[in-house]
Structure 1
């Protein structure tokens, strides 16, 4: 079985202004549950986690929960919320009452858009993170590489909060060896906290046009050495990945970039970790020949 722990859906006309960037013209179109179903079926992926798409508006939440309720591959939703919302506890309770609210598994704020690398140190942010944990939810960390130290401090100081690091903290893959140095140390500092897991997602996009498996491999290897297979999960980052690679290519690239692992370890990365961390109601692991498709 394969679980995709990170993908998006959007309709640009509904407020996804970040897609106005000329470099994003290739993905500036609607991506619907029907599109998703076709992609995951072709790629042999059984379940997915739908992640907020940068709209940063509560109106997205009932739409995405409704998608999850109506679309069999979507097993969970990581919805947007303002982590500094003083009424965050009530906001999250309201999400739970929405149709499909039982499929809410996590919350994400666009921390990467905050200029302050120490944003996660702010008291109002820490209160919000605690409220997410109190609601029984995971907090997805979408951060820049320079925000990793603050993420490590937050994870250390809030051991009750289950954190998931998106895209490995966006390392500078295009910089090669130079991109590994500071990032790998900061990643290790974050991984010290056992309440943190990480997604092997978004890497082809960070590598950019002309990416190769060889360019990804050192970063993937560091992640495996740092977190271990039981704390890593596959994410396609579709449709953002379409800027440089299609869905199936992303899945295959990760399989090729992984260091030698046992079948059980590969199953953790491609299904088990996401299922466990997000508490997804899915079928038994290994039923879909994960290892055959992930080589």
Structure 2
């Protein structure tokens, strides 16, 4: 019997000599203010039994996405890239086409914008953004949602408005794990999950908890809510490495996810740890470029 492959559907890399990560500030984030390269991830992934990954953008800089695509072209690990382009730009469709036609463009699977940093809670509903989202859909790409809980209603409305575009909710919408509150987050997540063109990532939860002393029981209500709302075939595991190292090692994050979904059937667990990511991002059972 073939063992289902394991996909880490959400991680980052950065080289501070190439580009500063200006969001890594203050003493709390000091542990990740250093280089994290794909070679470092490859060691972690091999130890954890991870076969393929999706590399996700970190900064709203146009040059980063072509760099990531070139990296995917030569990495045997990176199967897909969720990049960034300016969704509000009139030439967004041309920009997406240029990315697809460039080196490694076959690895572009999605686009993400740091909506969590936008002051306007309805940013996703602006006419210029809607035009950009239509371009993403027309390009056959997915849109990753990085939003705060208060932005979930706008995300749901955007998914209603763009039924031909798949929206993937990163980090379960950053629920208030540290406080233990479920509402209104749970109701808003269920409203999003009610739409067939949505999926979510079990990622980023340990850093929404109390970093120094989080427990599985802190995460379980949020994971259970997501699994019940989306179903295993629309849920995918992501490590959020290296951000996760603020609260846990790579292996600990994967181990926690395995424990949290242990009550699912074997086929459902295979979806969470690979099948969903393969299908949603169209990874086609491949790894990276390898050479």
TM-score normalized by the length of structure 2:
0.94
Greater share of helix residues, 1 or 2?
A: 1
Task: Find the aligned partners of 1:94 and 1:127 in 2 and give their Cα distance.
Answer: 18
Q: Is 1:160 aligned to 2:164, yes or no?
A: yes
SS at match of 1:11: coil
Which whole-Å deviations, capped at 9, do the CAs of 1:189-246 have from their partners, x for residues lacking one? 1111100000000001111321110100111000011000000000000000000000
Write out aligned runs for 1:33-72 (5 A): 33-53=38-58, 55-72=59-76
Task: Find the aligned partners of 1:96 and 1:22 in 2 and give their Cα distance.
Answer: 39
* Counterpart among 250, 257, 262 of residue 260 in structure 2: 257
* Counterpart among 243, 246, 249 of residue 243 in structure 1: 246
1:65/1:104 contact within 8 Å kept? yes
1:12/1:19 contact within 8 Å kept? no
Structure 2 counterpart of 1:21: 26
Task: Find the aligned partners of 1:154 and 1:134 in 2 and give their Cα distance.
Answer: 16
SS at match of 2:206: helix
Write out aligned runs for 1:114-193 (5 A): 114-176=118-180, 179-193=181-195
Q: Is 1:104 aligned to 2:84, yes or no?
A: no
* Counterpart among 187, 206, 209 of residue 207 in structure 1: 209
* Counterpart among 113, 116, 139 of residue 117 in structure 2: 113
Structure 1 counterpart of 2:271: 268
Unaligned runs of 5+ residues in structure 2 are none
Which whole-Å deviations, capped at 9, do the CAs of 1:121-147 have from their partners, x for residues lacking one? 111111111110001100000000000
Task: Find the aligned partners of 1:256 and 1:104 in 2 and give their Cα distance.
Answer: 31
Task: Find the aligned partners of 1:208 and 1:109 in 2 and give their Cα distance.
Answer: 26
**In angstroms, what is the RMSD of aligned CA positions?**
1.2
Which whole-Å deviations, capped at 9, do the CAs of 1:132-178 have from their partners, x for residues lacking one? 000110000000000000000010111011110000000000111xx
Task: Find the aligned partners of 1:108 and 1:172 in 2 and give their Cα distance.
Answer: 22
Task: Find the aligned partners of 1:109 and 1:246 in 2 and give their Cα distance.
Answer: 26
Please state how far the C-alpha of 1:118 moved relative to its aligned partner.
1.3
1:140/1:163 contact within 8 Å kept? yes
Task: Find the aligned partners of 2:98 and 2:61 in 1 and give their Cα distance.
Answer: 14
Please state how far the C-alpha of 1:120 moved relative to its aligned partner.
1.2
Task: Find the aligned partners of 2:286 and 2:84 in 1 and give their Cα distance.
Answer: 27
Which whole-Å deviations, capped at 9, do the CAs of 1:242-295 have from their partners, x for residues lacking one? 0000000000101112261100000000000000000003269xxxxxxxxxxx
Structure 2 counterpart of 1:292: none
Task: Find the aligned partners of 1:157 and 1:99 in 2 and give their Cα distance.
Answer: 32
2:116/2:148 contact within 8 Å kept? yes
* Counterpart among 216, 220, 224 of residue 219 in structure 2: 216
Please state how far the C-alpha of 1:21 moved relative to its aligned partner.
3.2
Between stretches 19-28 and 60-69, larger displacement belongs to 19-28
Unaligned runs of 5+ residues in structure 1 are 285-295
Please state how far the C-alpha of 1:22 moved relative to its aligned partner.
2.9
Between stretches 33-42 and 252-261, larger displacement belongs to 252-261
TM-score normalized by the length of structure 1:
0.93
